[in-house]
Amino acid sequence: MINRRKFIHASVFTSLAGLTNKRLPAIQDRQAVKGNPIVISTWDAGLEANKGAWEVLSKNGTALDAVEKGVMVTESSKNCCVGLGANPDRDGFVTLDSCIMDHQFNCGSVAFLERIKHPVSVARRVMEKTPHVMLVGIGAQQFAVAEGFPLEEQKLSEDAQRAYDNWLKKSEYHPPAVNVENKQGHGPFAPAKLDNGEWNHDTIGMVAMDAMGNLSGSCTTSGAGFKMRGRVGDSPIIGAGLFVDNEVGACTATGQGEDVIRVAGSHSVVELMRQGLFPEAACKKIVERIVKIKGEKAKDIQVAFLAVNKKGQVGAYAIHPGFEYAIKTNEMEKLVKAKSWLNT
Ligand code: SD4
């Protein structure tokens, strides 16, 4: 039976939902309070990554430690194309982008980083040990080595070598943005099909709220497969692939980075939440903004946002169907399919 307090609470939120987002999913009803941590991350690889984050959150650790540990799981995974096992650029080199941001606007980022297994940890060192936010390329690698990160062998994984050999047959520099065959709508950022038949993705964005109620986020990627050498996407760019404002909420993005960057995607979502929109409504508005900018070409790209507000209410929205995110709290651990601008 629903008690009065719960009823008032529910009706306040139902009417707010009417203003901001007509079909309010159940997940947005959650009220995070101190002592009730939450972690969310993009794509199905997020399920494993969330477990890594949960080891920290369940022991009253910080959201910052959680989002680093969480995406490190994915960076290490042989089954996922986020880290050094990912598809290379068109010259055959794997280059990685990553960033991290805490609850006090501290942030660090690395881009175009080669031969380092955990870019997210280097990003954290940039945040904590330098006066800068972002290091790129050889400078980022030198910093990593100076910080004691081992320089890994420059060798493609078997899957990546196979994919690269295949790509070289045509060397199509402008592949169709939506991979019609796999119907996943991820285009050049297509998830690779694994030998076991499952799909995987080349990016993970994660946001967590710890038991203190503080938010942090991380994002790490190999970027677009067979990209131009030196290309950097949205993932390491604070405000594009990730943004955290501890008073309001946090957001991370995935998909075609160029189109996330041009609308300062994650920052824009957080700003809409500041104005009172629920996370899903805020994500939807920025997806719609991108769709408007792209016009006809919107159908050819995938972009998705995943956000949480200060109450622990979660929402996501994508251009194409197929985007899902993983959520873990004290009460649940699951994958959720996001709504999308296109329905088929
Ligand atoms: C990028 N946003 O480099 C990344 C790619 C991505 O799932 O999210 N792939 O543009």
Residue of 42, 95, 203, 221 with catalytic role: 203
Ligand 1: which of 89, 199, 203 to mutate, most ligand atoms within 8 Å of CB? 203
- Name the residue with higher pLDDT: 111 or 36: 111
Say whether 339 sits in a helix, a strand or coil. Answer: strand
The residue ranges of DSSP E strands in the chain, in sequence order, are 38-42, 96-101, 107-113, 134-136, 203-209, 215-221, 242-245, 249-255, 303-309, 314-318, 324-329, 333-337, 339-340
- Name the residue with higher pLDDT: 163 or 135: 135
Has residue 124 got a pLDDT over 70? yes
The closest alpha carbon to 71, from 100, 93, 28, 102, belongs to 100
Strands 134-136 and 107-113, bridge-based pairing:
parallel
Has residue 69 got a pLDDT over 90? yes
Domain boundaries, the chain: 1-30, 32-83+155-340
Instruction: Give the number of other Cβ atoms within 10 Å of residue 197's Cβ.
Output: 6
How much distance in Å is there from the Cα of 46 to the middle of ligand 1? 15
Helix (H) or strand (E) holding 196: none
The closest alpha carbon to 313, from 53, 32, 37, belongs to 32
> What is the tens place of the pLDDT at every residue in 236-266?
999 999 999 999 999 999 999 999 999 999 9
Q: What is the DSSP string of 205-266?
A: EEEEE-TTS-EEEEEEE--STTPPTT---STTSBTTTEEEETTTEEEEEEE-HHHHHTTTHH
Mean pLDDT of all residues in 273-292? 98
Mean pLDDT of all residues in 101-109? 98
pTM as predicted: 0.87
> What is the tens place of the pLDDT at every residue in 308-322?
999 999 999 999 999
- How far does Cα 326 stand from its chain's mean position? 11
How much distance in Å is there from the Cα of 55 to the middle of ligand 1? 26
| pLDDT band of 64, cuts 50, 70, 90 | very high
Has residue 340 got a pLDDT over 60? yes
Ligand 1 pocket residue status of 259, Cβ below 6 Å? no
Which pLDDT belongs to residue 31?
Answer: 60
Has residue 95 got a pLDDT over 60? yes
Mean pLDDT of all residues in 82-108? 95
The closest alpha carbon to 119, from 57, 32, 181, 204, belongs to 204
How far is Cα 49 from Cα 327, in angstroms, rounded to an integer? 10
> What is the tens place of the pLDDT at every residue in 139-181?
999 999 999 999 999 999 898 999 899 989 988 765 444 443 3
Q: What is the CATH number of domain 32-83+155-340?
A: 3.60.20.30
Has residue 12 got a pLDDT over 60? no
Has residue 55 got a pLDDT over 50? yes
42 is catalytic: no
